[in-house]
Amino acid sequence: MSVSSLSARSSTESMRSNLSTLTAPDSLAPAVTGPMVWKGSMLLPNEYVIQLTGSELEDIRAAIVYFAMKNRKPRNLSAIDKSAFPLRSELAKKLSKASYEVHHGRGVAVVRGLRELRLNDDESTICFVGICSYVCPHRGTDSYANQTLSHVRDATRDPVPYGAENIGLAGSKIPSAMDYHSDRFAGDVLALHVRNDGGATDGGEQYLSSFWTIYNELLESDPGVLETMAAANWPFELKQQDNDPYVEFGPTLFFSKGRPICQLVKAPLVGSPRIPRSSDMPGLSGEQLHAIEAVQDMAKRFGTKLDRQTGDIQFVNNLSIMHARAAYGNNPGPSSRHLLRMFLRDPENEWEKPASFRNKFDDPFVPGRRQDIPVLDTDPRRKISGRDSHG
């Protein structure tokens, strides 16, 4: 029986018997260089924000209308691609540069200006999916929740549907702060469309930190942390919709052609505020707890706040850039903060993945899998996004 198919009850026994075959690599990759190695104020908004012009916004509006007219309700939003959302070649090239920046530049790009279009929910979703098809044309599908697009908002005040009383809310549905993380096996690029930033006093600020900078610092000061991360004995708790959770062992640090790839997310390792970890799951070792703390400390030290405006579409390298969020909901009444989220891949710029885990990185992009792209978030409990409990 493979470790990925273990039940919770057999987790601890299997951990003891399998650790001898799950070891760290013989050596760590040398320090990395390039524009993705940055600290704090080195990441400047005027270098990663792509401002749309008035004529480009009208071009995007025309593409939205084109798709809407060709696809009457109920719309098949999974049909959106470049041909269904036509843009002029100059704008198409401008958007494709965002992918290059995310994969080979600083690791982050922000498309700005869409707020001026004053789009409704339907139009905004069409716009988000359409623009993303020019940046990273492949959309990930969550194999657990069958979702391609999910809504990041506070659902704690929503009525609880009958039969969903014992289903917890994922991190994307609660206003709590989130530590620095990379979403495990979710996709190469995290894309977020800021429908509403909640206002200047509501909180929810977003933060980014270069894992490549963290890697270089740890390689010099505490390489044991990196060795711990690279060992394939981290006990991830994976949820199932109609069965008990199970444990899957694996590393939180990978290497491919000298590139360190971070996939460290705390929720499936220690639980989250609304989805606690099963008591049957094996706990983390002292070395693993130290590694999490060390990475968090450095991420905070070298991180920076992402420049954000309502209407932005943010693209973040999910393999090399860690992201975090402050708590929100500071204003009286329900928070209006609302983001749309997808995980993407660009076959022209994608990084090669380590062969032994290639299937895990590829799983969200299995051809032919149904894409669920909801315009409204009507079932935030049953449609939990993330078997691996990303944020």
Q: Please give the average per-residue pLDDT across 257-272, as a whole number.
A: 94
Q: What is the mean pLDDT of residues 104-119?
A: 98
> What DSSP string describes 212-281?
HHHHHHHHHH-HHHHHHHHSS-EEEEE--SSS--EEEEE-SEEEETTEEEE---SHHHH--SSSPPPTTS
Answer yes or no: is pLDDT of 337 > 60. Answer: yes
CA dihedral of 73, 76, 79, 81, whole degrees rounded to 10: 60
290 pLDDT above the threshold of 90: yes
Where does the pLDDT of residue 288 fall: very low under 50, low under 70, confident under 90, or very high at 90 and above? very high
Cα 183 from Cα 322, distance rounded (Å)? 9
Q: What is the pTM of this model?
A: 0.92
40 in a structural domain: yes
Q: 104 in a domain, yes or no?
A: yes
- Greater confidence (165 vs 113) lies with 113
Of the listed ranges 14-28, 47-61, 163-177, the one predicted with least confidence: 14-28
Give the domain CATH number at 321: 3.60.130.10
Q: What is the pLDDT of residue 386?
A: 53
pLDDT confidence of 23, banded at 50, 70, 90?
A: very low
- Whether residue 12 is predicted with pLDDT greater than 80 in this model: the reply is no
Q: What pLDDT score does 275 carry?
A: 80
Number of domains, the chain: 1
Mean pLDDT of 277-292: 95
Q: In terms of pLDDT, which residue wins out, 95 or 277?
A: 95
> Chain-centre distance of CA 369, in angstroms?
19
Are 107 and 317 spatial neighbours (Cβ–Cβ below 8 Å)?
yes
Given a cut of 90, whether residue 230 has pLDDT beyond it is: yes
The lowest-confidence range among 9-23, 245-259, 371-385 is 9-23
Of the chain, the percentage scoring pLDDT greater than 90 comes to 75
* Phi/psi of residue 328, nearest 5 degrees: -135, 180
Are the C-beta atoms of residues 344 and 140 closer than 8 Å to each other? yes
Give residue for tokens 């505490």. Answer: 222
Rounded Cα–Cα distance for residues 249 and 281 (Å):
11
Cα(271)–Cα(278) distance, rounded to whole angstroms? 8
Residue 7's pLDDT is: 35
Contact yes or no for 380/173 (Cβ under 8 A): yes
Q: Where are the alpha helices (DSSP H) in the chain?
A: 11-18, 45-48, 54-70, 89-104, 121-135, 211-221, 223-230, 267-270, 286-302, 358-362
Paired tokens of 115: 């707020």
If you count them, how many residues does the chain have? 391
Number of CB atoms found within 10 A of residue 374's CB:
17
Give the torsion through C-alpha atoms of 178, 184, 186, 191, to 10 deg. Answer: 40
Q: How confident is the model at residue 384 (pLDDT cuts 50, 70, 90)?
A: low
Per-residue pLDDT, averaged over 336-363, amounts to 97
Which tens digit of pLDDT belongs to each residue from 24-52? 455 799 999 999 999 999 999 999 999 99
What is the pLDDT averaged over residues 277-294? 95
> In the predicted model, is pLDDT for residue 365 greater than 80?
yes
Tell me, what's the pLDDT at 243? 80
**Residue 44: per-residue pLDDT:** 97
| pLDDT tens for each residue of 122-157 | 999 999 999 999 999 999 998 777 789 999 999 999
31: containing domain: 3-346+356-365
Q: Is the pLDDT of residue 319 over 80?
A: yes
pLDDT for 276 equals 85
The per-residue pLDDT for 325 is 97
Query: Band of the pLDDT at 1, cuts 50, 70, 90?
Result: very low
The residue-averaged pLDDT of 250-257 equals 97
Q: What is the mean pLDDT of the chain?
A: 90
